[in-house]
Structure 1
């Protein structure tokens, strides 16, 4: 599993209805993308749920590198680059994926943090795996994942929720659409 996200910060007075319309028109295009576990079409709106900014920030969990590369180099990402410029597409190597008991994805939480200095690296990533397991077990959680970027030594925790007051800490996003053609094939549990 590979995680990926690009976040496009928009002007404070940006009409977020433009993004909502964009996702309504184009969101289904990835509903059957080969190699994609899931794509959560996410937005943050300035002043809502603690957000200081307006942002469009899709988050992906990929089953295959080929699927991710096909999206990046084979046309899917080109629409974003054409409309917004070429944002940095952050990538993390998957550590864990867990399913919850939620039935829909209305909100997402993303938390990024540094891998602590000192101590064993295995302990730091084991804690991230445990956090994903605990998040997925919470009422209303649809799923939770943990991943790491070893070039920055950064952990990312990602979870999807039915309710807008998730119990997990982090940046809260509204989910406009969820494309999940390979969600059932995302490998469960710890990935090493």
Structure 2
């Protein structure tokens, strides 16, 4: 499995309804996409930060390669700009059958600090009331990320990025 996410930073005065309408009209196009376990269409908006940041979980690289190189990712490049795609390796994937009911994703990023003995990262926050969680790592950047899927807004006591889910393709 592979996770993939690109984060499109938008101007503070950007009308996020443009993204909402885009996903409403086109989100279902990735339903059933080759090797895609899910794609969560994510947005974040507050007075300091607006982002479109879809998160993908791929069964293997074949579907991901098709998405990136066979014209599908061109829609992102042509609509926004050249952007980095963050790739990570899942350590733990715990998704319930209710994932489609999730409305929010909490992402918590951590550095992996230099050490002489590697230890596998673990989830650091309680996950009550979540419909799924994914723990990934990226050895190229030496970081790991936790993703929690909730129906209600996650607890405000947890430091991380909260995204609204506009659509989940499975």
* TM value normalised by structure 1: 0.81
Q: Take 2:125 and 2:16, find their aligned partners in 1: how far apart are those partners?
A: 33
Cα distance, 1:120 vs structure 2:
2.3
From 62, 77, 80, give the equivalent of 1:81.
77
1:165 corresponds to: 154
Cα distance, 1:35 vs structure 2:
0.3
Cα distance, 1:134 vs structure 2:
5.2
Which structure 2 residue ranges, 5 or more long, are not aligned?
none
2:104 corresponds to: 107
> Counterparts of 1:18-29 in structure 2 under 5 Å?
18-29=18-29
1:6 corresponds to: 6
1:177 corresponds to: 167
Moved over 2 A (4+): 99-103, 116-120, 132-135, 165-169
Q: Take 1:100 and 1:134, find their aligned partners in 2: how far apart are those partners?
A: 16
Cα distance, 1:132 vs structure 2:
7.7
Superposition CA RMSD, Å: 1.9
Q: Take 1:36 and 1:169, find their aligned partners in 2: how far apart are those partners?
A: 29
Structure number with the higher helix fraction is 1
* TM value normalised by structure 2: 0.91
